[in-house]
Amino acid sequence: VGGTAGAELTHTSLPAEHWGLSRPQLLELATQLHRMVETGDLTNRSRMECRQRRIPYYDEQKFQDVDIGPTMHQVNAGYIQPTTLQQDPVHGIPCLSYALHQNAYGLRCDLFISHAWSEGVFELCHTVDRNWPLQCV
């Protein structure tokens, strides 16, 4: 199935409670994002670019801070979207959610996390890791 049809079929066929990430997958995401910030593959927009695009500027010190990091807006634009536009490694379906891109057959979600997209991703991952309930995958 071409385009987004395969992803749409997958998302409508697999219940949302199976769109999860495991704790190790969340920590691996944080590790990957740390590498991208260090190598310059994930960058913060300059004040001028933010003014031109009429989007909020994010403090460079927070962006570079290993305990705070880039916002989820930045992570989504610089890593999640480019990753999920690619075909998933098992079925070859593009445009899946990040969770289904990582777990081709889904992963039951035992823990739901709501977070602010303007907060730092490393801060989020550290907080979730420290508070992850033992009974959850």
**Per-residue confidence (pLDDT) for residue 1, from 0 to 100:** 46
CA-CA distance, 32 to 47, in Å (whole number)? 26
Instruction: Give the count of beta carbons closer than 10 Å to the beta carbon of residue 93.
Output: 22
Q: Check: pTM over 0.75? Answer yes or no.
A: yes
Q: What is the mean pLDDT of each run of 10 residues along the chain (137 residues)?
A: 81 91 96 98 94 92 97 94 94 93 93 92 97 89
CA-CA distance, 53 to 56, in Å (whole number)? 9
Secondary structure, 3-state, the chain: CCCCHHHHHHHHHCCHHHECCCHHHHHHHHHHHHHHHHHCCCCCCCHHHHHHHCCCCCCHHHHHCCCCCCEHHHHHHHHHHHHHHCCCCCCCCCCCCHHHHHCCCCECCCCCCCCCCCCEHHHHHHHHHHHCCCCCC
Distance of CA 18 to the CA centre of its chain: 16
**Per-residue confidence (pLDDT) for residue 58, from 0 to 100:** 95
Structure tokens, 58: 């994010």
**Per-residue confidence (pLDDT) for residue 2, from 0 to 100:** 59
